[in-house]
């Protein structure tokens, strides 16, 4: 993308609202992508930590099976179970973070592809290119809620209506979208 020096602070005869739009779309995509990259190291650390904790808990459980019944064993088992529940809850919370990261990656890709269309007059005024972009966006979604929101927006529904439809679908199919990390 070759952006001339003309801008909204110093417009000249070459100034264009389309170029200004492309700049802002590119900025938005860059900010989202930067946030995703910053979060990747944390995600890697969390994944390694969860894997290590699950392995350690498994070893603790095996060791407990070898110990004779006693009040001390009962107390250790109680703490083992509580810790295991917390680890499982953390994994579930992490799954939601993973979904958010996937969604943000879709947003970044979509903003970048939209910028390319807007930046090119041959593409900007070509309905076939817009249709191709919309098809590409919809096919890229992995979660049903994203597809529902996409379809609703293209049908002219408001943001609130699209979010409501996706939430209703999520509530009715809560177990269908489960993610297994470990």
Least confident of 59-68, 80-89, 95-104: 95-104
Span 84-90, average pLDDT: 89
Confidence of residue 133 (pLDDT cuts 50, 70, 90): very high
Residue 147 has pLDDT above 80, yes or no: yes
22 Cβ contact partners less than 8 Å away, ≥ 6 residues apart? 1, 3, 115, 118, 119
Span 130-142, average pLDDT: 93
Of 178 and 129, more confident: 129
pLDDT (0 to 100) of residue 8: 61
Residues constituting the chain: 182
What's the mean pLDDT when you consider all of the chain? Answer: 85
pLDDT (0 to 100) of residue 38: 82
Of 91 and 86, more confident: 86
Q: Please provide the distance, in angstroms rounded to a whole number, between the alpha carbons at the two ends of the chain.
A: 42
Residue 161, SS3 per DSSP: helix
DSSP secondary-structure letter at 174?
T
pLDDT tens digits for range 27-77: 888 888 888 888 888 888 888 898 899 999 999 999 999 999 999 999 999
Residue 10 has pLDDT above 90, yes or no: no
Instruction: Tell me the two tokens of residue 146.
Output: 């994203």
Of 14 and 16, more confident: 16
Q: How far from chain centre, in Å, is Cα 149?
A: 14
Q: What are phi and psi of 163, to 5 degrees?
A: -65, -40
Share of the chain above pLDDT 70, in %: 87
The residue among 170, 130, 178, 118 whose CA lies nearest residue 148 is: 170
pLDDT (0 to 100) of residue 7: 66
pTM here is: 0.66
Domain ranges of the chain: 18-56+100-142
One-letter-per-residue 3-state SS of 102-160: HHHHHHHHHHHHHHHHHHCHHHHCCHHHHHHHHHHHHHHCCCHHHHHHHHHHHCCCCHH
């Amino acid at each position: 993308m070759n952006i001339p020096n003309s801008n909204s602070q110093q417009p000249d005869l070459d100034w264009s609202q389309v170029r200004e739009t492309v700049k802002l779309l590119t900025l938005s995509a860059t900010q989202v992508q930067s946030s995703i990259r910053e979060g990747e190291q944390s995600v890697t650390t969390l994944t390694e930590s969860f894997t290590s904790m699950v392995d350690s808990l498994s070893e603790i459980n095996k060791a407990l099976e070898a110990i004779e019944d006693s009040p001390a064993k009962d107390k250790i088992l109680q703490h083992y179970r509580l810790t295991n529940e917390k680890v499982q809850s953390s994994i579930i919370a992490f799954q939601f973070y993973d979904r958010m990261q996937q969604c943000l990656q879709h947003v970044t890709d979509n903003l970048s592809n939209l910028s390319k269309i807007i930046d090119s007059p041959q593409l900007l005024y070509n309905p076939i290119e817009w249709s191709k972009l919309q098809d590409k966006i919809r096919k890229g979604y992995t979660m049903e809620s994203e597809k529902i929101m996409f379809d609703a927006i293209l049908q002219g529904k408001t943001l609130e209506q699209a979010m409501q439809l996706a939430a209703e679908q999520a509530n009715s199919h809560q177990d269908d979208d489960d993610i297994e990390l470990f």
